[in-house]
Structure 1
């Protein structure tokens, strides 16, 4: 036996030790399971004498504990060891210094402790040393600079207390990436200008002191993060030649002087889409030429004296507090353009030179574990060209369907590979592509760092493609299989075609309503209920169980057979929510999981019935509360909390859902409140996936679509142009904010809430329209909340904040609100008690809209890891 591959199988229990006798053993792949216990010593004891050309051990993504066996260090032919994302403790064995042939050491995200052994300097073949997110301590070994081939040294989130960065590290001439973030480092920032290929430097969240070195850096540099240190002196101007530069983060230091305009002088001619210069919270006093800042450069100056200077009135837009999040993207395929049968696995390949090309793709999940970039978008084309060349595919055969930054600054992406000039891959093509990825036959350019294969999704091909052999195969056997597969490819393709044609024939005989349920994606935790179960849960849809009604039909409170309380949304005949909306909501909600989004339990689609089954949210809708249908009025802190919860739910849709989603129908009646008044966004029937890239790979900012939504909440620019964007949701949420503050309806007696509040705000009489049922409130906080709401409701899309900026501002207001000292996501909403300085109760009753004399506190300082 040469190979055991049991990865991605949900296996549990411990790793058996019965592999040690296998004299031809080369690869053990157990990653991404639920294995527990320690790494058995017996596996490695006899392998040091084997004459294997290469050994690979993949144990990452489990729940392994205990220490690392010393015996691993005596495997002369070990090529790769991946034990990351476990709970392994203890020290790094000094015996690892013997692994002269090992190229990849992925030991991050564990509980390793103690000193990094200086003996590791003898690892002559090591390319990647990933030890971040452990409990390592002691000093940084200067000897690591002697590693002759090292490309990535990543040590973030350890505790090298009082250690400095060794001066010898400037001699690591092969280094692409150096990341020692949040490690309690002291001393000066080293001069790294002698490292010719350095692309990424992160020394943030330490206690580094002194000036920033001013020598010319590598032309390949994309990212420099020196934020949250104690650096002083001025900002050097040695960044102006960096044509690939994406981000310079120097916030939260003690830098003085002026902002050097030379940094961006040449940026307008560079191919990068953006450059972020974050200088917030320093002591900068001057910016000589704000007008010269190119459109693709973002300069952040909040918290500097230059922002309070009366002479610098032209930099107001640079002085607002912002938190720039890593950009993620997606490019979902549209099946409807050519009528591709999604239920059979076909998708529309928009890039194909053949019009209306419907084919069954292969899906591949990849993670770049330590990329040397901050923004993937400018490098997307480079990766596509590189992968298609290595796979011997045409460029139009590859979609990077989505990508998202994960914790630890890793980049997860999902690829779709389409067959060329046909609708199906043959067996040999699929086997070849799978082997290339699983055997790491693709060596990515250094800028992308190491990668791991997360999944290889065969879809309909799974019925004719064998799984990876657990017994292992010799080269002769592999050649034989591939040769046989090539001979049988035409036959297999014919079999698949006949299978599909028969299924099409059968489906034509099935009633339309029932066909839909057959096409639904099956997802764990989402149940397909029978009509009888729904009738039993609601006492045959008794009026006594009805809790709501809308254009789609009625909502019932139900009790499932296991006692679970649910809300059942039952569509009526001819309802506004048709089959498309029904299917959309199931597809979207089945893969969305966030505390501020309502959870889908299941659905029912039979007996000419369409029903969606949700978790039951006991406190009804925000709309009901604002209309006075609740027993207790909501005070300011409760309303602010609801606003923040709602914004967080929508931010998840825009930035973390994969692919991202535009809700398209944000309104008070689609925001539900649970028993603790935690807000949950609901109703995704009108939602749309974020836009598809065009033929050149550029992703537009909008989806062109028929206008749908609710009057009063509709984005006016979307209404006029039919261009739906993420800012359309921002507008709708802004209207909800105005409702929270005023208690008014979006449209009432022909008056529009946005225009009414805007007019009152401009007149300086804003407190006259604050909802009197809110009771006492801090006037400064209310003013900031109103200002944010009106920014969200700007007519022009580009003038509105992003949802991440909305959340950020709401969090600032939350921390400023008196009696609120807990993080909103963790606290239980309680009635806040404001202390009024007014002594006469008659003054309150005489003007119920007047705020008590309560001012906002200064926001607390946060230091997230």
Structure 2
């Protein structure tokens, strides 16, 4: 009877463990609906580089499917796909509507591929979405109205595609939206006034589209807009309304090449305005005389029909880097005090482009500092009898992008690093000639609020390493180049902290911060995009570091399942052994 009691207790214990094990085992697999959705997505994609070869075997969340990030949802037995990170993988094909079945997805990232076709309206079913990045593809068709009902969405990047049609009015429902990047498409119609009622909108980029009409008067109601960029469109008819002064936190206003008409409003009441570009429009009248915000870095009013004189309000702006009135109808004297209040140290410079106007006078004792570049070609002041020509101010000059640059060079006295890995010397390291293996990062500022990076380089290094939890010397800016936009492309290298190698956990942490848009730079640098994350030698040691991931909760569940399974197997083995021994004792007793 005692033996039977032990068997019964063991059996009950085994049953309980098995029930627990079944529940945990269910927690080790991806929800079946999401598995089907991923298979449908895979079926529509063309993968010439075999980046998705792991998608053909095992479970998405536990078998390291490339780019699939999963979490364990509380009170849910399954693992759920929360992120798809498939950027820059040379994928083509179309985006399957079944993507809308990924009900717990937070981030959908297919940027910098070659996808074609429409953006599926089913994306609007994923109410958990906070980030959609589809920029840099060949997507066409119109924007789905359904996206306008994603209440948690805070960033939409569909720039550099072939999307046409109007911007949906439903986008005015995106009350969590901070970043609209819709430039370089074929969007048409007017900008919906509903967009300017969004409570936390920071960036609106719609340049290089086919938009038309005036800016909506509802723009006056927006209090949180920091960057409005609608350049290279075909806005026409109405002038820019003076109600812009109600936008208290506007940082960057860029409406270039939009066929805007009328006078320039007084923008002096915007306390944080740092970047103003109204070039290549049809603006008329005189330039407002009130002084702009002291943190302004760039003012471009070129290629309009402005008349009158250059007012004195552009003097005493301590952060000014670029001021252009090129190709207008301005007359009178060339101002001689614009550079007052600016401290020219290090690489600090100022470009003043006044070419192709009707300026006719230069004041006496006119001596710009060496750091100031003044361009006067095409003005009356440059006739042969004027000393301005002798001073070299009247040579025709094409104003190109701001200077590009590179980081400090390695000390030539250092001996070569070992060659068994991709060792390099970090020129910024406090330890001379210290060899380490860096991570490579392709990084681009999509809409910086500066015209010249050189004087902001140190601030960027401090800002970016702070949010990455690195020491400043661990970041090496190998090269930076201005691109059309303007956008600032950087080649960065991240070095270990006084060690030769990063740990696997540190590699994963840094990639997740960068690829998951989890770092926030200062407003002056604007939004960024990750172009690539190069493992180098780390790819040999950690081949799955960029494939997929489970958060700690999910890993803990799997570990618990493994432990319970081991206990269950142990109990079964014990019962089997006890049962065999019991039978032997029974047979032995009967033989007597």
Match of 1:25 in 2: 105
Map of 1:70-219 to 2, 5 A cutoff? Answer: 70-219=145-294
Map of 1:829-848 to 2, 5 A cutoff? Answer: none
> Structure 1 residue 238 and structure 2 residue 309: aligned?
no
* Structure 2 CA distance for partners of 1:335 and 1:456, relative to 1, 3 Å: farther
The alignment partner of 1:344 has SS state of: coil
The answer for unaligned runs of 5 or more in structure 1 is 482-865
Q: 2:344–2:371: 8 Å Cα contact kept in structure 1? A: no
The alignment partner of 1:248 has SS state of: strand
Q: 1:244–1:272: 8 Å Cα contact kept in structure 2? A: no
The alignment partner of 1:380 has SS state of: helix
2:482 to 401, 405, 415: 405
2:120 to 40, 46, 49: 40
Q: Write the distance in 2 (CA, Å) between the matches of 1:66 and 1:405.
A: 31
1:438 to 483, 505, 515: 515
Q: Write the distance in 1 (CA, Å) between the matches of 2:432 and 2:323.
A: 44
2:403 to 302, 318, 327: 327
* Structure 2 CA distance for partners of 1:409 and 1:324, relative to 1, 3 Å: same
Q: Write the distance in 2 (CA, Å) between the matches of 1:92 and 1:28.
A: 20
Shift of 1:239: 1.8
* Structure 2 CA distance for partners of 1:293 and 1:198, relative to 1, 3 Å: same
The alignment partner of 1:257 has SS state of: strand
Q: 1:111–1:135: 8 Å Cα contact kept in structure 2? A: yes
* Structure 2 CA distance for partners of 1:249 and 1:341, relative to 1, 3 Å: farther
Q: Write the distance in 2 (CA, Å) between the matches of 1:400 and 1:145.
A: 40
Q: 1:338–1:348: 8 Å Cα contact kept in structure 2? A: no
Match of 1:686 in 2: none
Q: Write the distance in 1 (CA, Å) between the matches of 2:553 and 2:408.
A: 40
Q: 2:316–2:340: 8 Å Cα contact kept in structure 1? A: no
Match of 1:688 in 2: none
* Structure 2 CA distance for partners of 1:117 and 1:109, relative to 1, 3 Å: same
Q: Write the distance in 2 (CA, Å) between the matches of 1:341 and 1:174.
A: 52
Q: Write the distance in 2 (CA, Å) between the matches of 1:274 and 1:136.
A: 36
Deviations 1:191-215 (A, max 9, x none): 1000000010000111111111111
The alignment partner of 1:405 has SS state of: strand
Shift of 1:313: 5.5
> Structure 1 residue 347 and structure 2 residue 421: aligned?
no
Map of 1:218-367 to 2, 5 A cutoff? Answer: 218-269=293-344, 273-289=348-364, 291-308=366-383, 310-312=385-387, 315-325=390-400, 326-331=402-407, 333-334=409-410, 337-341=414-418, 344-367=421-444
Match of 2:588 in 1: none
Match of 1:12 in 2: 92
Q: Write the distance in 1 (CA, Å) between the matches of 2:269 and 2:366.
A: 34
Shift of 1:436: 1.4
Q: 1:251–1:278: 8 Å Cα contact kept in structure 2? A: yes
Match of 1:464 in 2: 541
Q: Write the distance in 1 (CA, Å) between the matches of 2:389 and 2:160.
A: 48
Q: Which deviates more from structure 2 when the two are superposed, residues 228-237 or residues 325-334? A: 325-334
Deviations 1:723-757 (A, max 9, x none): xxxxxxxxxxxxxxxxxxxxxxxxxxxxxxxxxxx
* Structure 2 CA distance for partners of 1:272 and 1:358, relative to 1, 3 Å: closer
Q: 2:123–2:147: 8 Å Cα contact kept in structure 1? A: no
Q: Which has the higher contact order (CA 8 A, sep 6+)?
A: 2
RMSD over aligned Cα, in angstroms?
A: 2.1
Q: How many residues align?
A: 476
Shift of 1:351: 2.0
Q: Which deviates more from structure 2 when the two are superposed, residues 15-24 or residues 68-77? A: 15-24
Q: 1:368–1:412: 8 Å Cα contact kept in structure 2? A: yes
Q: 2:319–2:342: 8 Å Cα contact kept in structure 1? A: no
Q: Write the distance in 1 (CA, Å) between the matches of 2:391 and 2:208.
A: 39
> Structure 1 residue 382 and structure 2 residue 459: aligned?
yes
Match of 2:8 in 1: none
Q: 1:327–1:405: 8 Å Cα contact kept in structure 2? A: yes
* Structure 2 CA distance for partners of 1:83 and 1:290, relative to 1, 3 Å: farther
Deviations 1:400-419 (A, max 9, x none): 11111111111111111111
Q: Write the distance in 1 (CA, Å) between the matches of 2:347 and 2:317.
A: 11
Q: 1:268–1:296: 8 Å Cα contact kept in structure 2? A: no
The alignment partner of 1:355 has SS state of: coil
The alignment partner of 1:412 has SS state of: strand
> Structure 1 residue 63 and structure 2 residue 143: aligned?
no
**TM-score, structure 2 length as denominator?**
0.77
Q: 1:332–1:402: 8 Å Cα contact kept in structure 2? A: no
Deviations 1:109-143 (A, max 9, x none): 11111111111122112111111111111221121
Shift of 1:479: 8.2
Q: Write the distance in 1 (CA, Å) between the matches of 2:340 and 2:195.
A: 43
* Structure 2 CA distance for partners of 1:97 and 1:217, relative to 1, 3 Å: same
* Structure 2 CA distance for partners of 1:335 and 1:268, relative to 1, 3 Å: closer
Q: Write the distance in 2 (CA, Å) between the matches of 1:220 and 1:348.
A: 37
The alignment partner of 2:115 has SS state of: coil
Q: Write the distance in 1 (CA, Å) between the matches of 2:297 and 2:229.
A: 16
* Structure 2 CA distance for partners of 1:479 and 1:318, relative to 1, 3 Å: farther
Q: Write the distance in 2 (CA, Å) between the matches of 1:66 and 1:469.
A: 31
Q: Write the distance in 1 (CA, Å) between the matches of 2:418 and 2:503.
A: 20
**TM-score, structure 1 length as denominator?**
0.53
Q: Write the distance in 2 (CA, Å) between the matches of 1:319 and 1:122.
A: 47
Shift of 1:162: 1.9
Q: Write the distance in 2 (CA, Å) between the matches of 1:38 and 1:362.
A: 35
